[in-house]
Structure 1
């Protein structure tokens, strides 16, 4: 399945190179094994035995227990050579690093609670590996970007993963899917994400007000409400407005203040529902909710408090963001 993404704004060739990070076709196993064997040879090591797995999570049971690496270990020597190549890399955009390293590889890594030890990302190393290098060493790394997913080199053995079956993004190049996993691997292992935030599967597949109210993570709760939709959340939760008022900082929009049921161990609070003053990439304005102290009875006072202002001061704003 192809990934939807906004192209990098540099040269067409650079954009095409970065597109390898988002490939979802099967790995080229012979090319990957040949490239890894060439990297071993540069360290004076014979080709390793290869074990292919369908996802990064599937690699965990096959990895030896994490341990401190000696400077002369294969992993340390390979890491030092890779670090030297990365130091020579120039021109990688911040956008590419954020999108590939943090926004894709980072979310996949965060979904695996077990330690992974020293490893490389194959296709997700595209943000630092140069395209089409002339030297044999960076050429081997470039082949891995084109050929496979994550890989773990160890003495005499190497574990390599397939590429994902699906990578799904929103218009802002963030991992996102409102209908299923944002990342899916051949063995069924998956990562769910809502506009770049990793979430539990229920947030996408079955969000309910009850589950949302039990969720302790504020970001997950926010994503789940957006997935369910504010009208549905308010109806399911049985929340009724305490008071409503036009938003002077956002003409044409309304501030809504709701009572919230008391949660065990939490300070009593109310919910201020507002509309973002800034326009999203798709031209819409996002509704969002803020927890405010329970002592506020008027939405202008609650909105002012969120900006460090009084209600009267907030009422004098020309436009907020």
Structure 2
């Protein structure tokens, strides 16, 4: 293969040093454009993906590899193990995987050379980042937040949260971990690419032509494929998920998404590999298919147990598990709602209690979610349990006007 068959993702190289309102709105458009690819379930564009990887090999002074396509990362793990590819991993600096990783890392550093990495740790910069995370890009710019901070908070961070920190860990649960093996996540690395394009568009990067070309290669991999693994003579390429189900992340300002499906796997591949996720929590399949009180009692992971109970519904679970009501009281911070304190089931092997409460704010559908909180066993009453969750006494909690 002689050339990477992809078009330029920044064809006009427009530099907007003083963005107007419409141009600032384009920041969100850049984020959403790459989010769509990060969530894509289309079959891989194999020709483009192979050509992009081949160019990375050539840049590393290596011959183009043999490409092996598999239907899922799980299948890739099985192939890597069966063929002994992991046992041949070289940790030397000139190993192809390490060379590609270093080349991309250095290019990203050069792209952002205007701001040293340590500046992001300054207290004023950290405060600006936190402020921009809860503001639209337009409002952040109007408030005087630096455009680089807006790009980080409104493009890079939300995409990383949704894709790299959200979807990639779920997929990793169906793969085998190999020491020293470098994994590229393809579409789930869109946060790097989106930030690079935004920095270029608004004149906040100092790339060389070589760095721009590397960004284009990475852009093609995000748009063309899922996960891949580079070895000296072979590159293993995985298809993207065939189904990917998400929901808006509560409180998200920048179109953050989290995995969720109540009735089937949230992530599925064409070979049957799948991951169940409820509201962003990775769970075993029984939590979705058959969440019985007995299975819940045997589960040691608190988040999995909570997800299973909420999937059943607290009222149904309380009845089925035969929980003992210890105390209840009107919720002074949530008019018309009850606080209920239950003893935990003996099978949980804890002396704690469960406080059942109603959320003070409404969900998107207008309802208020009923939820349970585990509290220490020494808490004597429902009011004391509610106060304990806020770090105050029950009498002080009773004086609250409204709880959120």
Taking the TM superposition and a 5 Å limit, the aligned residue runs for 1:172-321 are 172=249, 173-263=257-347, 266-321=349-404
Q: Is the 8 A contact 2:31 2:159 kept in 1?
A: no
Residue pair 2:74, 2:176 contacting (<8 A) in 1 also: no
Q: CA deviation at 1:235?
A: 1.2
Q: Distance in 2 between matches of 1:216 and 1:9?
A: 46
- 282-291 vs 179-188, which moves further: 282-291
Distance 1:122 1:291, change over 3 A: closer
Shift of residue 259, structure 1, vs aligned partner: 2.6
Q: What is the aligned partner in structure 1 of residue 15 from structure 2? A: none
Listed as ranges, the matches of 1:160-175 within 5 Å are 160-172=237-249, 173-175=257-259
| Structure with greater proportional helix content | 2
CA distance in 1, matches of 2:95, 2:344: 57
Q: Which of 27, 30, 34 is equivalent to 1:10?
A: 27
The residue number in structure 2 matching 1:157 is 234
Matched, 1:35 2:57: no
Aligned residue number for residue 6 of structure 2: none
Q: Identify which of 180, 190, 205 aligns with 1:126.
A: 190
Q: In the alignment, what sits opposite 1:4? A: none
Aligned to 1:109: 172
Moved more, 232-241 or 199-208: 232-241
Cross-structure match for 1:146:
223
2:37 equivalent to 1:20 = yes
Q: Gapped runs of 5+ residues in structure 1? A: 1-7
**How many pairs does the alignment contain?**
313
Pick which of 208-217 and 304-313 moved more: 304-313
Cα distance in 1, alignment partners of residues 49 and 239 from structure 2: 10
Deviations 1:6-51 (A, max 9, x none): xx98342442233111110111111111111111111111110011
In the alignment, the residues of structure 1 paired with residue 38 and residue 290 of structure 2 have an alpha-carbon distance, to the nearest angstrom, of: 30
- Aligned-residue RMSD, C-alpha: 2.3
Give CA deviations for 1:66-106 in whole Å, capped at 9, x if unaligned. 65611111111111111023322673431111111101112
Q: Work out whether residues 17 and 131 of structure 1, in 8 Å CA contact, stay in contact via their aligned partners in 2.
A: no
- The gaps in structure 2 that reach 5 residues or longer are 1-24, 113-147, 201-208, 250-256
Change (3 A) 1:261 1:104: closer
Alpha-carbon deviation of 1:231?
1.3
Change in CA separation of 1:206 and 1:71 when aligned onto 2, cut-off 3 Å: same
> Could you say if the C-alpha distance between residues 236 and 281 of structure 1 is closer, same or farther in structure 2, counting changes exceeding 3 Å?
same
Which one of 99, 102, 105 corresponds to residue 162 of structure 2? 99
TM-score when normalising by structure 1: 0.90
- Over 3 Å counting, the alpha-carbon distance change for 1:153 and 1:214 in structure 2 is same
Aligned to 2:123: none
Q: Deviations over 1:164-221 (max 9, x none)?
A: 0011011221100001100001110011111111111111111111111111100111
The Cα of 1:61 is off from its aligned counterpart by 2.6
Say whether the 8 Å CA contact 1:55–1:185 is kept in structure 2.
yes
Q: Distance in 1 between the 2:377 and 2:94 partners?
A: 61
Segment drifting more, 67-76 vs 191-200? 67-76
